[in-house]
Amino acid sequence: MTDRFALIYSSRFSNYSYGEFHPFKVDRYRLTYELMGHCGLLTKPQMIEVECPLVEEELLLNFHRPDYLKTLREFSADDEVHANFFYGLGDVENPVFKGLYDWARLMCGGTVEAVRQVVDEGRRAAFSMAGGWHHAHSARASGFCYLNDAAVAINQLLARGKRVVYVDIDAHHGDGVQQAFYNSDQVMTISIHENGKDFYPYSGFVDEVGEGAGYGYSVNIPLLPHSDDLIFEQACQRVILPLIKAFQPDVLVTQMGADPLRTDPLTRLECTTAFMEYAGRVFLDTNIPWVAVGGGGYNRLNVARAWTLLWATMIGETVDDHFPEPFQATVVQLGEEGELLRDPPHLAAPDDFSRAQQQLDRNVSFLERHIFPLFGLPRGG
């Protein structure tokens, strides 16, 4: 049997740290990989594991400005305290540490390699868990993100004449990727996220629909706090899947942030791990060459559970509801709590669900009236 799925990983992911008290914990990658292994998901005949490479610097220039990259490289060269707030570097949110530039290049390199595995090697899908840095802009770090791997990789696809749909299910709006392609009709960006009215990055409203040639190619589905799995599933069925089908991309790129889970400390959505398995199934069922990247998630066990279930779904394997015994020992050793790989079913409180449903209906109505007709989809009432 030929390999059909690629997992991009490196033990080097754990070589750096944002700092002890920063909410982004780098060890979530090691935990995810360990859990995948204990679940028997790393030795299946339908998959191949690929060492994550550093992205070539010249590829970064297809999106990032040279002056920004120069500053990032210089700040990463030593342990001195550096800051340049014009570039978003050196504050509490985006700390600078020795080796940062190479670490960011490693994260970006995984996404570029995932694209290569799908486009050049003919894999059905590839997963780079270390990707998903969707807040980075061409010359500014933002939201823990320094290099925008999705923008770099998608620009590479565009240079090869490919049309791309980018779907972002992270709890935070994919603002950096949206901005990168806001004027393009070769990339459709779709982001479903917690409403930016009072939530970082304070963008991603339903009327952000693109400009110029890109009008109608930027799609946002902002959700009210406490939106749950049922709201997410409706958004997929009513908006995301019809638009993917109508656009007919050559490649599907998805950002699979784990922070919509209800126990994430930084967000207010109420999804369970079931939403990640559902998303994995529907993206796979599009039969479009698929590149999946990681993203947010600030409870490290949530991340490990969600992405292990995503990988199992992607490669068509089943796993038990509970942690394997060896991983349970790791959980105890880390001082964490929990024994379930899958969350039990959960529904938002009736009042919260009603408000979330009304907001979703309003957003869908707007998109049906303003976006759907551009792609030959039925116009809403």
Task: Please tell me the distance from the alpha carbon of residue 96 to that of residue 86, in angstroms, as a whole number.
Answer: 14
- Report all structural domains of the chain as residue ranges with CATH numbers, in order of start: 5-319 (3.40.800.20)
165 DSSP β-pair partners: 188, 252
Q: What share of the chain is helix, strand, coil (3-state, %, to 5)?
A: 40, 15, 45
Residue 318 falls in which region: left (phi positive, over 0), alpha (psi -120 to 50) or beta: beta
> HEC string of 139-187?
CECECCECCCHHHHHHHHHHHCCCCEEEEECCCCCCHHHHHHCCCCCCE
Contact 124, 117 (CB under 8 A): no
167 DSSP β-pair partners: 190, 254
Task: Please tell me the distance from the alpha carbon of residue 369 to that of residue 358, in angstroms, as a whole number.
Answer: 17
* Three-state secondary structure call for residue 6: strand
**Residue-wise pLDDT tens for the chain (381 aa)?**
357 999 999 999 988 889 888 999 999 999 999 999 999 999 999 999 999 999 999 999 999 999 999 999 999 999 899 999 999 999 999 999 999 999 999 999 999 999 999 999 999 999 999 999 999 999 999 999 999 999 999 999 999 999 999 999 999 999 999 999 999 999 999 999 999 999 999 999 999 999 999 999 999 999 999 999 999 999 999 999 999 999 999 999 999 999 999 999 999 999 999 999 999 999 999 999 999 999 999 999 999 999 999 999 999 999 999 999 999 999 999 999 899 999 999 999 999 999 999 999 999 999 999 999 999 998 764
The answer to pTM > 0.75 is yes
Task: Please tell me the distance from the alpha carbon of residue 251 to that of residue 179, in angstroms, as a whole number.
Answer: 19
DSSP 39-76: TT-SS-TTEEEEEPPPPPHHHHTTTS-HHHHHHHHHHT
User: Is 38 a catalytic site residue?
Assistant: no
For residue 30, which phi and psi values (nearest 5 degrees)? -60, -40
For residue 5, give the amino acid letter. F
Residue 81 falls in which region: left (phi positive, over 0), alpha (psi -120 to 50) or beta: beta
Best CA proximity match to 235, nearest among 110, 365, 109, 347 = 365
From the list 135, 172, 173, 226, the catalytic residue is: 135
Length of the chain: 381
Residue 216 DSSP symbol: T
If one counts every other C-beta atom within 10 angstroms of the C-beta of residue 203, the result is: 18
pLDDT score at 20: 86
Best CA proximity match to 210, nearest among 239, 234, 188, 227 = 188
Task: Please tell me the distance from the alpha carbon of residue 117 to that of residue 52, in angstroms, as a whole number.
Answer: 12
